[in-house]
Amino acid sequence: MRRFVKGSLAIFTLILLTGCDSAPSSDPIPRGERAMPVIIETASTETVLERVPAVGNLLANESVVMRAEIAGLISTIGFIEGSEVSKGQLLIELNPEEHLALVEQTAASTELARLNFERAQGLRHDSMISQQGFDEAQTQLKVSRATLRRHRSLLTKTRLLAPFSGTIGLRHVSPGAYIQPGQDLVNLEDIDPIKVEFKLSERYASALAIGQQIELRVDALPGKIFSGLVYAIDPRLDPRTRSFALRAKVDNSNQKLRPGMFTRLNLIVNRREQSVVVSEQAIWPQGEKAFVYRLVDNRAKLIQVEIGERFDGKVELRSGINIGDQIIISGQMKIRDGSLVTAVGQSQQPAG
């Protein structure tokens, strides 16, 4: 009885094994697989700008605080606060009467010294004057001329002229005020173009160059982007921050930008033509790696890619995808590598 049972079990097992091997499937996809709907996009090319972010401060193109070199009483103020002034325009004049009198007095003394020297020359020719007398007359003429130049210079300093064209600030004095040398009187600013100063880490040293473009934003003007060019790079590295200081100039003809404003900017350090770009939603991250699904023969193929720059809802792909490839940008949650898919829509890339 036991032998019969054992034999029956062996025959039953053999039949099962034979039945499983008798009809092998050549199709790895299970029968009845349903195609998942997805939205696709064609990988295209664009010019990609490699940007380095930074923050900075706006500076006037030229800036000066007007100060007098001599003491005196203000007799004239030749500007309106906050107005535009031209180079050479009279801003402030001190009472010149005392200095005019000194110039006239010294001019008379100089003329007398000149006459004395000319007489000494004639006497010297006839040996009627000693060498000492001649030298004294010559020295007196030189001293008088030097004193006259000094007094004329002091007279000139009673008139404060604009050293450059720009916008005058708020004055700190009034007509009739007595001022001291070095006292702050008014500031003058040239803000067109305007400068921006910012710093970048030393690791960007090899990428920095004069003439590079910047894109600038300020909180006071949301949504507005200003462009400028780098014109100076400090050759010395700041030992505390290990960074370079750079300055750029930005057009400010509408004078919306003002010195002292905080700014966020991007320095464009590289420009790559014909770069492959796709929409940002096409990226399928897995851990520290990035992938995209490419449509191949109605199936989703998972491809690892190298991401470059991100901008305007797009991503630069440096490897893995070629121009014209069909990329899945919607529906990735329901598919896997090799899944059967059907395109239900063709997306247009957002405008740059």
**Would you state the CATH architecture of domain 52-62+191-272?**
Beta Barrel (2.40)
Q: CATH 1.10.287 occupies which residues in the chain? A: 96-157
Q: CATH 2.40.30.170 occupies which residues in the chain? A: 52-62+191-272
**Distance between alpha carbon 351 and the CA centroid of its chain, in Å?**
25
pTM attached to this predicted model: 0.69
**Type of residue found at 86:** S
CATH dotted code for 36-46+273-346:
2.40.420.20
In tens digits, what is the pLDDT along the chain, a chain of 352 residues? 444 334 443 434 433 333 444 333 334 445 567 888 999 999 998 888 888 999 999 999 999 999 999 999 999 999 999 999 999 999 999 999 999 999 999 999 999 999 999 888 888 777 778 888 888 899 999 999 999 999 999 999 999 999 999 999 999 999 999 999 999 999 999 999 999 999 999 998 888 999 999 999 999 999 899 999 999 999 999 889 899 999 999 999 998 999 999 999 999 988 888 899 999 999 999 888 999 999 999 999 999 999 988 888 889 999 999 999 999 999 888 889 999 998 887 765 544 4
pLDDT of residue 179: 95
Q: CATH 2.40.50.100 occupies which residues in the chain? A: 67-92+161-190
Q: CATH 2.40.420.20 occupies which residues in the chain? A: 36-46+273-346
**Type of residue found at 348:** Q
pLDDT of residue 12: 40
Task: Select 96-157's CATH number: 1.10.10, 3.30.300, 3.30.70, 1.10.287.
Answer: 1.10.287
pLDDT of residue 31: 56
pLDDT of residue 348: 59
Burial (CB count within 10 angstroms: exposed 0-12, middle 13-18, buried 19+), residue 138: middle
pLDDT of residue 349: 53
- Say which CATH class 67-92+161-190 falls into: mainly beta
